[in-house]
Structure 1
Amino acid sequence: MWSERRLTDALRAPAGPSSDYDLNPDVAPPAAPLRAAGVLAAFHEGDGRLVLTKRASGLRHHPGQIALPGGKVDPGDADTIAAALREAREEVGLDPAQVRILGTLPPHRTVTGFAVTPVVAVIRGPFTPVAEAGEVQEVFTLPFDHIADPARYRIERRRWRGSWRSYHAAPFGPYYLWGATARILLGLARRLAP
């Protein structure tokens, strides 16, 4: 059941960082330095629905995938929280004045070389999303009960760069939530579990 208090309490629970490599211990991550990024896990105060995007199919990174609004830290961003808020404004039209930051989750390492900090927040008041043309194909929400239930997440595998790779997935209707976004949200779900 949705409550802002559950999120706040979950953020106090200890947890370590996660990685796209968690389920694939035989694959060594590259030694290159990671680029900082921030994503916004924004739940609406009324019903706890989480705002997600379907990325445009022509993008270089993660085309057509389900994602939390966010992106890399730009030189003008104070930190990963500022990057997540800026990107959410650009990608879905979310005014930072409507956002109450509750905290952050540990960083998640992606196969594309990012250290992604998930920023957990609540959206105050009415919000009508506006998808950024060329980058976001669709903005939609998923129910809190789906996101917050660890049993909704499963392990699947597919061929990637010549070998089999395992990953987390939590499909919902037409939306195939998987990969880094699913792993980040599973980390939150585990902390929300009683």
Structure 2
Amino acid sequence: MAELHAGDDGYETLRPPGVPRPAAVLVGLVDRVDGPFLLLTTRTGHLRHHAGQVSFPGGRMEPGDPNPAATARREAWEEVGLPPENVRVLGELAPYDTVTGFRIHPIVGWVTPPPAWIPDPFEVADIFEMPLGFVMNLANHQRETRMRDGRMREYWTMPWNGRNVWGATAGIIVNFVRVLHWQP
């Protein structure tokens, strides 16, 4: 399989020096009658990292987590009320390094949804599902640029239904779509 690297078309160069902090997210494919949907959240506005941004359920790896899949399942349980047994892990995408110093391990999982999503009020402002068909359409993958720390930065964005999925989350989605479109 073609190796996909982290960041926007390669490792991001603005990452603080030092060892990246390990984290994991659940790229959850929610099983719905009308097709699979990606499970996403909007982070609350007061958080230290990525406040108000759209993200996958996930977070830092804790010492008690045996692997990134365990972290992704634990974080999904804490953030959106998804029981770990409702996630069948399908695989892991290449790690994604962020400008804020995280090395994210995206864990792809098939999700049997609970009767209702339960947002953690401290971390999650909103829980929503984006149709997989929308993200599979390459026309919906857009590039934008902006200045950060005196340098121009280019990143992925996917406006959808009044929300703007961008940065690391959009980059992980683009990498996931690239894996699904891969042909030998």
Q: TM-score if structure 2 supplies the norm length?
A: 0.91
What corresponds to 1:85 in structure 2?
73
Distance in 2, matches of 1:131 and 1:161, equals: 33
Q: Distance in 1 between matches of 2:15 and 2:52?
A: 24
Distance 1:23 1:87 in 2: 25
Relative to structure 2, which stretch is displaced further, 127-136 or 103-112?
127-136
Query: Which of 26, 30, 36 is residue 40 of structure 1 equivalent to?
Result: 26
Aligned pair partner of 1:103 in 87, 91, 95? 91
Q: Give distance in 2, aligned partners of 1:23 and 1:90.
A: 29
For 1:21-71, what per-residue CA distance to the aligned partner results, in whole angstroms no more than 9, with x for missing partners? 7387xx454430011110001111232011100000000000000000000
Structure 2 equivalent of residue 114 of structure 1: 102
1:37-76 equivalence runs, <5 A: 37-46=23-32, 47-76=35-64
Q: Is the CA contact (8 Å cut-off) linking 2:4 and 2:175 kept in structure 1?
A: no
Aligned equivalents of 1:107 and 1:15: distance in 2? 11
Residues 73 and 187 (structure 1 numbering): CA distance in 2 closer, same or farther, change over 3 Å? same
In structure 2, do the counterparts of structure 1 residues 23 and 120 end up closer, same or farther at CA, with 3 Å as the change threshold?
Answer: closer
Helix, strand or coil at the partner of 2:163 = coil
Measure, in 1, the Cα distance between the counterparts of 2:76 and 2:37.
16
Aligned-residue sequence identity (percent) comes to 37
Confirm or deny that 1:147 pairs with 2:132: no
The one-letter amino acid of 2:20's match is L
Question: Could you tell me the TM-score, scaled by structure 1's length?
Answer: 0.86
Q: In the alignment, residue 62 of structure 2 is paired with which amino acid?
A: D
CA contact (8 A) 1:23 1:167 kept: no
In the alignment, which of 134, 140, 161 is matched to residue 149 of structure 2? 161
Contact map agreement 1:106 1:117 (CA 8 A) in 2: yes
Gaps of 5+ in 1: 1-12
Which amino acid letter does the alignment assign opposite residue 80 of structure 2? Answer: V
Q: Which moved more, 1:42-51 or 1:174-183?
A: 42-51
Q: Which has the higher strand share?
A: 2
1:14/1:130 CA distance change after superposition, 3 Å? same
1:118-155: per-residue Cα shift (whole Å, max 9, x none)? 00011125442111011100000100111222221111
Provide the rounded CA distance (Å) in 1 between the counterparts of 2:101 and 2:60: 11
Counterpart in the other structure of 1:14:
2
Assess, with a 3 A threshold, how the Cα gap between structure 1 residues 126 and 89 changes in structure 2: closer, same or farther: closer
